[in-house]
Structure 1
Amino acid sequence: MNKKKIQILATSDIHGYVMPTRFAHHTNEALGLAKVSTIIKEKRLQAPTILIDNGDFIQGSPMTYYQQKYEKKEQNAMIEAANALEYDALIFGNHEFNYGKEALQEAIQQSQFPWLAANIQNEHGKVFTKPYIIKEIEGIRLAILGMTTHFVPIWEEAKHIEGIHFQDAFEATRQWTAYIHEHEKVDVLIVAYHGGFERDLATGELVEADTGENQGYQICKEIEGIDIFISGHQHREIATKLFDKSVVQPGTKGICLASIELTVEVDDKDNIIAVTHEPFLIYLGEETPVDAAIAQLNTPIYQRTEKWLDEAIGTVKGDIRLKNAFDARVHGHAYVEFINKIQMAVSGASISATSLFHDEEGGLPNEVTMRDIVTNYIYPNTLKVLRLSGNDILQALEQCASYFTIENGRLAVSPSFKYPKAQPYNYDMWAGIEYTFNISMPVGGRVTTLTRKGERLDLDAEFDVVMNSYRATGAGNFDMFKNCPTIKDIQTDMTEIIADYFQQHPVIEATCNHNWKVIY
């Protein structure tokens, strides 16, 4: 009896981070594809290897934003790095579509590896790219099947996915798994799914609304014939077994690398006796060296990005820096008011809603650069003005109020906004109205006051409200927005809108009118 070793390595949700920095101040952080590459090269010396990226690869960092904005005719920097790393396949993430079809098609054409999308179809009903590939290593046949959460149309601008259709990921996985086993006679089936888990992996308890955005648990439980399940989208760090499948999810921005070690036992005639697999996560550290070859490829666009980020934009009088995001969500903050003020100014709407995208420190210093803007406003959102009824506004506020709970007599973030994925961006703060949340009341009945200009808001009246394009789709459990008419669609990235605002108002004053209260 002989044993053969094969490694499956996986990245996911890299979001455009190559160099070991978040583009704030530190330049040697434990993240980035250039450091991940060092580990990949070391692992490749140990055993035959398959390398997969599980999506959200080409969008998300200031560098990718800069290139798409100013250097889009050049070779895509992320694809250049991926080609150098010799990926075997890349899966479509939902953010792959953010820059539009033309940018995505160029990235695909530049790639020296296949993009897999078994549940994404073109306008003719054909698979958008390839559903799966077969790799034969050491006489072992392995299939890699690619899937993407079918919630992309809920979040994405319609023009970015025109003619593209997304099939239910669970149903597509079941169909293609059966097809592969019937027609390909594989020894190992790997499903790489840009989606996460809707249930607790230990208890099976539902931990988010059963919408279909994340179907990983259902796929692992109900579909036979899958050996390895690579997940993503939720930015979690997972390496475990679930229903006899090896399951991984390697965080975000390259903070770790997923590794599944396959052991194939064969007899003297090379017939397979048994296949076993174990999942691991390999974490980067500050001491992890940068791969010089990847860094050299990335340096030109990285340096231009750094120079652009340090360009001065404007001045703030007063304090608009953000130290405590939770406190800002409870009491209001000058930075939040500033964003809402810009949204109302550019749209003409008299009511606005915005959110803080993360829980880290942020806001703007007194001398503002592009770095300050893009590190605070991290998503490529545009703006939309929706016509809402007063009741729509009330229901949206009730959804926002569900962000809070009371733990040990103190105000805290509801578990549903922390697990299985942190969702601070799904709590909105509003301007142009006044309101009070009483968190001691049941969810759905927490808005105890709602006024506009001191008068009780008419729930039957209509109001034009500006918000980012993500929220305007109804994403984040804001279903009340889905069928509301769009009055204005502002097709300019929010970072550019903020920069333009500073050009028109080179000096702004920090103000906060505290138009809402959270009590308990």
Structure 2
Amino acid sequence: MEQSATHQTCRISILETSDLHGSMLPIHYANNQPNEVGLAKIAAIIAEERSKDQHVIVIDNGDLIQGTPLAYHHARLDNEPVDPMVLGLNYLGYDAAVLGNHEFNYGLDVLRKAVHESEFPWLCASIVDAASGEPFLGKPYIIKQFEGGIRVGILGLTTPYIPNWENPNHIVGLRFEDAVQTAKKWVHILKQQEHVDVVVVSYHGGFERDLVTGEPTEPLTGENQGYRLCMEVEGIDVLLTGHQHRSLAGVELNGVVIVQPGTAGVTLGKVELELSLSAGKWHIDAKQSVLLSVANIEADMKLIELIHEYENKTQQWLDQPIGKLTGDMLVKDPMQTRLKDNALIEFINRVQMELSGASISNTALFDNISPGFPSDITMRDIVSNYIYPNTLKVIRISGQDIKDALEQSAQYFNRTPEGTIEVSASFKDPKPQHYNYDMWEGITYKINISRPVGERVVMLEREGKPLDLKASYDVVMNNYRAGGGGNYAMFQDKPVVKDIPTDVAELLAGYIMERGTIEATVNNNWEVIWD
């Protein structure tokens, strides 16, 4: 607070984490190598920001308690202690957290326990008790009051699209309401009844439209309503966002400053407000948002020590054998794995088919360092190969959609003038996108990469007959692909026959543990050729 005889000013910093997904330590769990992520690094930045400014608000924007082996081990195998991520937020003195969609992944008992253990409130106005209509976790906002009487209202909102993903048993008795309509109601209350000077909306959701042109960037399902919140809800000063795992800062939309800090704690979002007192009322004179990177930041060693026991148990679990393999599922050459049917991809597809009931499946080799499975399989081997927190969806698509998807994948390959095969520019620039090349089970196909793009599928059959391009088929794939991610527009807006919201890595591990021993098989149902 600065003060003169006639003028008072104040600066407030709002710090945001979002989509931490259980990321506490700066490591890759696949191999324990260093990684520039995690709440332990974020902690050091928060401490630095607090040392510079006494007016600091710290908010977590959701998807906190799920996503790493640490989080999984606690939720599923050792849930009695305080949730490790909650322990971290308690230690750091967070002001509030917002419910994310992944907070429900382990069921309401695990979620309620984490909320009970929290020394901060959890906020969400848009998830209500179905019977009473009251917000699920009580009061959906907090008021922070600072020197000089400045009142800052923070309202929590969550994407209402959760019933499209979540196990119905995990959301019994809850109703998910439109974020925009909910915001209109509660922002009005904050302004007219609570008389706040600043309205901050912390929304576990992202943007459905291009921030510059306003053009839709995805199907307007209501999953992401950030653009509408800025354009249609009067009175919002700051919009903290997440869910999409984007890195957004330095942008104002209709006068609302926005920020989104990526995922896993790679950055801390910061909004800085400058206010002044005029005619007895505080006004915002300037506002800006930035992202503070954790790269080269030393982690908070006290926080690491607080979760030391959790981590030890997790590491022991990761290295415990979960099953055995007969045959060969090693990845010796990633390009060869993508050129001809192989045991690892076939296994993942067959697990997806068996657990979902679908008779057709696709999956990908996500990167070029996936090692495959050794003869003695551990949980660490699972997370080394299935590196993303994907879930599964069964969608109903046409034979033509399948063919179009194969043509999209076929663009992955390019032939050099020397006749060798390489990854095409569209799949490696500006970043490698190996995860966007799919391989299928349940159909028989052949791709000839000597042919022009769009004409490379030279054989496509189902049960020994040409695939009927007009018929409908139920296909299981990861949720990212089912939503059209990776330029697979043919999958967008298709009927969802079944949603399996458990992480695929967990499904693979459970499948192996249940059987004890798995066998490497290759039925050679597909191949890539060139003349």
What is the TM-score normalised by the length of structure 1? 0.83
| Residues 77 and 298 in structure 1, CA contact (< 8 A), matched pair in contact too | yes
Q: 2:83 aligns with which of 61, 68, 76?
A: 76
Amino acid at match of 2:194: E
Amino acid at match of 1:281: L
What does residue 135 of structure 1 align with? Answer: 144
Percent of counterpart pairs with the same letter? Answer: 37
Matched, 1:39 2:49: no
Cα drift, residue 320 of structure 1:
3.0
For residues 404 and 170 of structure 1, the distance between their equivalents in structure 2, rounded to whole angstroms, comes to 41
For residues 383 and 100 of structure 1, the distance between their equivalents in structure 2, rounded to whole angstroms, comes to 18
Summarize the Cα distance change of 1:158–1:429 in structure 2 as closer, same or farther, 3 Å threshold.
farther
RMSD: 4.0
Cα drift, residue 349 of structure 1:
5.5
Cα drift, residue 334 of structure 1:
3.7
5+ residue gaps in structure 1? none
What does residue 508 of structure 2 align with? Answer: 495
Alignment of 1:81-100 (within 5 A): 81-100=88-107
Q: 1:265 aligns with which of 263, 267, 276?
A: 276
Cα drift, residue 491 of structure 1:
12
Matched, 1:183 2:220: no
What does residue 159 of structure 1 align with? Answer: 169
Q: 1:509 aligns with which of 508, 520, 524?
A: 520
What does residue 316 of structure 2 align with? Answer: 307
| Residues 370 and 499 in structure 1, CA contact (< 8 A), matched pair in contact too | no
Of the structure 1 ranges 114-123 and 426-435, higher mean CA displacement relative to structure 2 is found in 426-435
For residues 158 and 217 of structure 2, the distance between their equivalents in structure 1, rounded to whole angstroms, comes to 20
Alignment of 1:127-276 (within 5 A): 127-129=135-137, 130-138=139-147, 139-243=149-253, 244-266=255-277, 271-276=281-286
| Residues 335 and 363 in structure 1, CA contact (< 8 A), matched pair in contact too | no
For residues 135 and 91 of structure 2, the distance between their equivalents in structure 1, rounded to whole angstroms, comes to 27
Cα drift, residue 123 of structure 1:
1.7
Secondary structure of 2:307's counterpart equals helix
Secondary structure of 1:45's counterpart equals helix
Residues 75-114 of structure 1: per-residue CA shift (max 9 Å, x gap):
2111111111111111111111111111111111111111
Cα drift, residue 280 of structure 1:
1.1
Of the structure 1 ranges 122-131 and 48-57, higher mean CA displacement relative to structure 2 is found in 122-131
Q: 2:383 aligns with which of 374, 380, 399?
A: 374
Amino acid at match of 1:303: N
Alignment of 1:442-457 (within 5 A): 449-457=459-467
Summarize the Cα distance change of 1:247–1:290 in structure 2 as closer, same or farther, 3 Å threshold.
same
For residues 356 and 446 of structure 2, the distance between their equivalents in structure 1, rounded to whole angstroms, comes to 25
Residues 175-199 of structure 1: per-residue CA shift (max 9 Å, x gap):
3222321211111111111111122
Paired residues in the alignment total 504
For residues 251 and 352 of structure 2, the distance between their equivalents in structure 1, rounded to whole angstroms, comes to 46
For residues 357 and 72 of structure 1, the distance between their equivalents in structure 2, rounded to whole angstroms, comes to 32
| Residues 345 and 365 in structure 2, CA contact (< 8 A), matched pair in contact too | no
| Residues 159 and 203 in structure 2, CA contact (< 8 A), matched pair in contact too | yes
Q: 1:126 aligns with which of 123, 131, 134?
A: 134
Q: 2:56 aligns with which of 42, 49, 52?
A: 49
Q: 2:300 aligns with which of 284, 291, 294?
A: 291
Matched, 1:361 2:356: no
Residues 244-283 of structure 1: per-residue CA shift (max 9 Å, x gap):
222111111101111111211225x864254321111110
| Residues 13 and 56 in structure 1, CA contact (< 8 A), matched pair in contact too | yes
For residues 132 and 305 of structure 1, the distance between their equivalents in structure 2, rounded to whole angstroms, comes to 35
Summarize the Cα distance change of 1:258–1:461 in structure 2 as closer, same or farther, 3 Å threshold.
closer
5+ residue gaps in structure 2? 1-6, 416-422, 486-490
| Residues 266 and 274 in structure 1, CA contact (< 8 A), matched pair in contact too | no
